[in-house]
Amino acid sequence: MSEKILIIDDDVDTLRLVGLMLQRQGYQVVAAANGTQGLTKAFEERPQLILLDVMMPDMDGYEVTRRLRKNPATAAIPILMFTAKTQLDDKVTGFEVGADDYLTKPTHPTELQSHVKALLARASTKSPEDMATVSQERHGYVIGVVSVRGGLGVTTVATNLAAGLYNRTKADVVLAEFTPGQGTLASDLGISANSGLTDILKGTVAEITREKVQSSLVTHGMGVRVLVSSENPTDVDLAARAENFETLVIRLSTMAHYVVLDLGSGLSLSNQKILALCSDRIVVMEGMPHSIQHTKLLLGELSTMKMDAKSISVVLNNRQRSDAQIPWAQVQKDLGRPILTTLTPMPELFLQASRSRTPALIAQPENMTAQQFLKIADAILEREKAR
């Protein structure tokens, strides 16, 4: 017998077009024109999948999902939620209340078909207990760390920030390295490399489940869970999988109080989408003329993308003792905005940290550079309180 799909949408054209498309694929289709009617049909028809609109007049898709998840008879039915493309919070909230996947309107028929097939394929493995766990998820505080080019210390800042947040709060912290094909965290922290991020990026959005993401995380001795990138150079093309990255960030944000993202360098489409989802952004630079100029351009682009200037911090990372480094006061003046903190050159500290496979902040917590990392963590905590 073909699978039964319930479509809940107050838009008549959507009900007709999507319903016809699914019927042509051999599915049984049941339609509901509002949330209340949708709940009734879900309880009566027991469909194998529900396609649910967010914006409806009588009861929105979030409330429909909450009620479906609370009822044991419907708790395990996969829900594919339709959201508006610009409303990123819709996706976050959708996952929080228990949706399995989302699509933006309008959607291409082929894309809808692939999402429907993927959800139905794994529906049999999802229990009501799994859905209850998902419905209790909360959205954490996401921090993206980026620079204008590689080699400026983004991974170092992200790693020590994650350690600092855990040090200060003892809350659940996830550190994720989003640089496929260029990963260094596994080696830096002595973690056995796995294919978790690669598998997530190669698959479909519908396959990015909580369970899959959870299994890709490795707990490090500093108390932080880590998602590492592969070192295989051919995986660098996966950096273009913007929608997968976006979904992964949303999933991670429901799994920890703080999520620190190592975004590498540049404002690729993926990084733009990721940074738009972040609560806080940190831009790493060095005290050199070209770095100042390029960072100024990057900050200008972030402003164009309507990102709140208060959510963006600049960290000056002077990695080498050199007379060529411009003093922080001059960097700040040339940049036209405050510098949160300056990381002073400390090669001996980072060598010790590398040998012990741990962040510098853990290797020598009383060191001046370690205290500067804690200053970044404290600034993040202050901004979180102000939200």
Tens-place pLDDT, residues 3-27: 999 999 998 888 888 999 999 999 9
Domain ends where: 135, 157, 177? Answer: 135
Same domain? 39 vs 93: yes
Domain ends where: 118, 135, 152? Answer: 135
What confidence tens digit (pLDDT) does each residue in 64-112 have?
A: 999 998 877 788 899 999 877 556 677 788 888 889 998 888 788 888 9
Domain count, the chain: 2
Same domain? 220 vs 342: yes
C-alpha distance from residue 213 to each of 99, 196, 201, 241 (Å):
16, 8, 11, 16
What confidence tens digit (pLDDT) does each residue in 270-313 have?
A: 999 999 989 999 999 999 999 999 999 999 999 999 898 999 99
Q: So what's the pLDDT on residue 72?
A: 72
Same domain? 106 vs 145: no
Same domain? 301 vs 208: yes
CATH code of the domain containing 295:
3.40.50.300
Same domain? 357 vs 216: yes
Same domain? 86 vs 161: no
Same domain? 210 vs 330: yes
Q: So what's the pLDDT on residue 130?
A: 46
Cα distance between residue 30 and residue 47, in whole Å? 8
Domain ends where: 90, 112, 135? Answer: 135
**Enclosing domain of residue 171:** 141-386
